[in-house]
């Protein structure tokens, strides 16, 4: 059963059409990677799904309901969370507060100004638990802006996942990391997104083929293939457009 | 938790004993002003420090609350509504809240420049209205009332300033406690999150507009409470209390005290009230000194006086604060001399033919010797600061370095 359906999604900026009629089905529970050369429109597609940009035409359905006219916060409340390519956290809040804020809405606190956070034991336990999972428990009280880069990326991931969303979209989660940091990050992604639907944009093909159940290839705003990793590898059109060298090098 | 209770108990105790220490007429009058300005400055910080909303028109809520409170005093005096004047701050708060609900409904869509410009525009609009709706605002003369009517509160009729002080102190305590507790709630914490990163706040399920709106309303409410206390204390209010001057003053208080800390605006309100009340007795140029202090704060202490104090936390935790004591004193002496010389120069250029008595020395603006004396002192002390600064820097490094 598909949890997210894109149907003829287009996005124009002025005369330039960045996304040109993308149709895509994401199955519940799968790990789906979106790959493509620079400038193909991967991040734009993410922004369209998460509500940061509005569509020029087409429709997006999440759990059977249209979400393409909703504000980002309304989409997030329905259980679709995302991370960002450039680390996007609350820099002056402590690491713990970052996670706790991400939990607030799904835990039903809404805009409460009569409940004291310090007394919400189940909420605080959940926040601490998430800190353990992302390996930042010992940094809980540090302002998050002072974390090292890889730690900020882990926090970014934690903020996205903490909301209890069913579908998690990660935009280049390991970009800019060293090899060992990336390995840790991949292990972390596997661990904390287990049982959830994952849609990710990533450039590192080792990681893509390692994590993804299915891969969609986006070239110049169009999906040219959407299939299992082994079929994508063998797909002539994909190799020509984008992958050829990378894949053969990797498998040499 | 226990530590917190102790802190609040100490705060209450301080409020209770202060008038016994500063028991002069001037002392009580200054304390009364402080209760008003501290609440007002704390409410302003809900916007700027905690919510990231730079307002140039926060006096609107203070002033509207104050005007309505004076009218309420008159209604009590005319026996149209009869209730104890101890509840007047609630009237002010309600009016501040209503005004904030109305204005916040469209001004909190965006933070940043848009919000700042709308706040400025609303401020000007209300000031213009005050000269049009003379019945409510009393035109340029303002409106006045009398706090001594109405039923006495357990025998207290608020004839004395000290009685007014305890009323103000009570509301100060309640308002401060509530504003602090607000920072510990989901709405208060999300205000910080929206300040830090509005985009991300939307992606974790929060409407930034709604989060800002809630902080904005709370800030309006407490500004109105401060306005109500103003009405009780001064028994009159004019257009000046809701114009840009008052809005600017509360911004200065919060900034000089330190936006990033709950206690910052309290410190700022105390400093500015003292300057306003005491310094103005000595020099008519006190506003100039206030401006210089503000510049100094913005440039050298961007996190305000509270930030300056908090800078020493690491050294204190390391147990090395004493390393700083002597270097601080060595720098402070020439620095104080420099400030003195600067003040002397400013005052001398303002003194005219009467001359200036400065620390027991008669100076004359016509005498070249007077000028040279002050210039020499300024130059020598500036050199002194330069000499001792290196030692202070070294001591700072030693006090804050990694502990062995």
Q: Report the CATH number that the domain containing residue A28 is assigned in CATH.
A: 3.40.50.300
Residue numbers of chain B with a pLDDT score lower than 50: 404
Min Cα distance B217 → chain A (Å) is 12
Q: Which residue of B has its CA nearest to A51?
A: B203
Q: What is the ipTM of this complex?
A: 0.93
Give the Cα separation of B137 and B168 in Å (integer). 24
Residue A155, pLDDT > 90, answer yes
Q: Mind listing the pLDDT tens digit for each residue in A74-116?
A: 999 999 999 998 889 999 999 999 999 999 999 999 999 999 9
Q: Are A145 and A155 in contact (CB under 8 A)?
A: no
What does the pLDDT read at residue B157? 87
Q: What is the sign of the dihedral through the CA atoms of A115, A119, A123 and A124?
A: positive
What does the pLDDT read at residue B195? 97
Which of B186, B204, B208 lies nearest to residue A112, judging by beta carbons? B186
- Across the interface, do A73 and B187 touch by the CB < 8 Å criterion? no
In this prediction, residue A245 has a pLDDT band, given cuts at 50, 70 and 90, of low
Torsion angle of the four alpha carbons B247, B249, B250, B253, in this order, in degrees rounded to the nearest 10: 160
How many folded domains does chain A comprise?
A: 1
Residues from chain B contacting residue A71 (CB–CB below 8 Å): 202, 207
What does the pLDDT read at residue A96? 98
Min Cα distance A230 → chain B (Å) is 34
Element (H, E) at A195: none
Give the Cα separation of A166 and B395 in Å (integer). 54
Percentage above 90 pLDDT, chain A: 84
- More confident: A246 or B78: B78
- Across the interface, do B207 and A71 touch by the CB < 8 Å criterion? yes
Average per-residue pLDDT in chain A? Answer: 92
What does the pLDDT read at residue B404? 44
Q: What is the mean pLDDT of residues A29-43?
A: 92
- Across the interface, do A117 and B185 touch by the CB < 8 Å criterion? yes
Optimal mutation site among B3, B177, B198, B204, interface A, most CBs of chain A within 10 A:
B204
- Across the interface, do B196 and A91 touch by the CB < 8 Å criterion? yes
Percentage above 70 pLDDT, chain B: 99
Range of the domain at A234: 2-251
Give the Cα separation of A163 and A80 in Å (integer). 9
- Across the interface, do A72 and B203 touch by the CB < 8 Å criterion? yes
What does the pLDDT read at residue A12? 95
Give the Cα separation of A46 and A64 in Å (integer). 19
- Across the interface, do B205 and A77 touch by the CB < 8 Å criterion? yes
């Amino acid at each position: 059963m598909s949890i997210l359906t894109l149907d003829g999604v287009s996005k124009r900026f002025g005369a330039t059409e960045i996304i040109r009629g993308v149709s895509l089905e994401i199955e519940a529970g799968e790990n789906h990677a979106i790959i493509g050369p620079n400038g193909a429109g991967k991040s734009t597609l993410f922004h369209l799904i998460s509500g940061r940009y509005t569509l020029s035409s087409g429709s997006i359905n999440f759990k059977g309901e249209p979400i393409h006219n909703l504000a980002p916060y309304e989409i997030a409340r329905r259980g679709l969370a995302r991370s960002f390519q450039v680390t996007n956290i609350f820099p002056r809040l402590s690491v713990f507060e970052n996670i706790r804020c991400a939990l607030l809405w799904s835990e039903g606190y809404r805009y409460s100004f009569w409940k004291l956070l310090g007394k919400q034991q189940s909420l605080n336990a959940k926040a601490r638990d998430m800190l353990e999972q992302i390996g930042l428990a010992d940094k809980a009280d540090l302002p998050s802006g002072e974390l090292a880069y890889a730690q900020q990326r882990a926090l970014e991931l934690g903020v996205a996942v903490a909301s209890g969303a069913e579908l998690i979209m990660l935009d280049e989660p390991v970009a800019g990391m060293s090899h060992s940091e990336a390995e840790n990050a991949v292990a972390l992604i596997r661990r904390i997104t287990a049982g959830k639907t994952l849609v990710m944009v990533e450039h590192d093909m080792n990681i893509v083929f390692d994590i993804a159940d299915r891969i969609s290839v986006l070239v110049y705003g169009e999906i040219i293939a959407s299939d299992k990793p082994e079929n994508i590898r063998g797909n002539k059109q994909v190799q020509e457009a984008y992958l050829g060298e990378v894949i053969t090098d990797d498998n040499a | 938790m226990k530590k917190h209770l102790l802190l609040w108990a100490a705060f209450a105790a301080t409020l209770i004993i202060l008038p016994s220490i500063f028991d002069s007429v001037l002392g009580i009058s200054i304390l009364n002003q402080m209760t008003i300005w501290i609440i007002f400055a704390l409410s302003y910080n809900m916007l700027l420090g905690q919510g990231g909303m730079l307002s140039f028109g926060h006096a609107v809520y203070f002033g509207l609350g104050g005007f309505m409170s004076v009218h309420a005093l008159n209604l009590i005096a005319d026996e149209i509504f009869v209730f104890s004047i101890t509840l007047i701050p609630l009237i002010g708060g309600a009016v501040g809240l209503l005004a904030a609900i109305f204005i916040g409904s469209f001004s909190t869509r965006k933070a940043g420049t848009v919000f700042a410009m709308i706040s400025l525009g609303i401020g000007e609009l209300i000031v213009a209205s005050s000269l049009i709706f003379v019945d409510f605002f009393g035109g340029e003369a303002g409106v006045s009332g009398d706090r001594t009517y109405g039923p006495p509160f357990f025998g207290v009729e608020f004839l004395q300033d000290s009685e007014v002080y305890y009323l103000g102190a009570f509301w100060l305590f309640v308002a401060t406690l509530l504003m602090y507790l607000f920072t510990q709630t989901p709405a208060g914490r999300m205000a910080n999150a929206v300040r830090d990163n509005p985009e991300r706040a939307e992606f974790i399920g929060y409407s930034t507009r709604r989060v800002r709106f809630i902080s904005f309303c709370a800030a309006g409410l407490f500004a109105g409470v401060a306005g109500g206390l103003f009405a009780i204390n001064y028994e009159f209010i004019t257009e000046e209390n809701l114009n840009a001057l008052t809005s600017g003053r509360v911004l200065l208080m919060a900034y000089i005290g330190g936006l990033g800390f709950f206690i910052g605006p309290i410190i700022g309100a105390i400093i500015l009230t003292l300057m306003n009340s005491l310094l103005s007795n000595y020099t008519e140029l006190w506003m100039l000194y206030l401006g210089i202090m503000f510049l100094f704060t913005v440039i050298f202490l961007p996190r305000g006086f509270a930030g300056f104090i908090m800078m020493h936390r690491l050294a204190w935790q390391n147990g090395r604060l004493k390393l700083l004591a002597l270097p601080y004193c060595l720098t402070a002496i020439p620095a104080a001399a420099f400030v003195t010389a600067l003040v002397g120069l400013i005052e001398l250029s303002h003194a005219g033919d009467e001359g200036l008595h400065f620390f027991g020395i008669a100076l004359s603006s016509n005498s070249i010797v007077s000028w040279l004396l002050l210039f020499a002192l300024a130059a020598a002390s500036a050199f002194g600061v330069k000499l001792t600064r290196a030692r202070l820097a070294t001591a700072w490094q030693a006090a804050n370095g990694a502990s062995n």
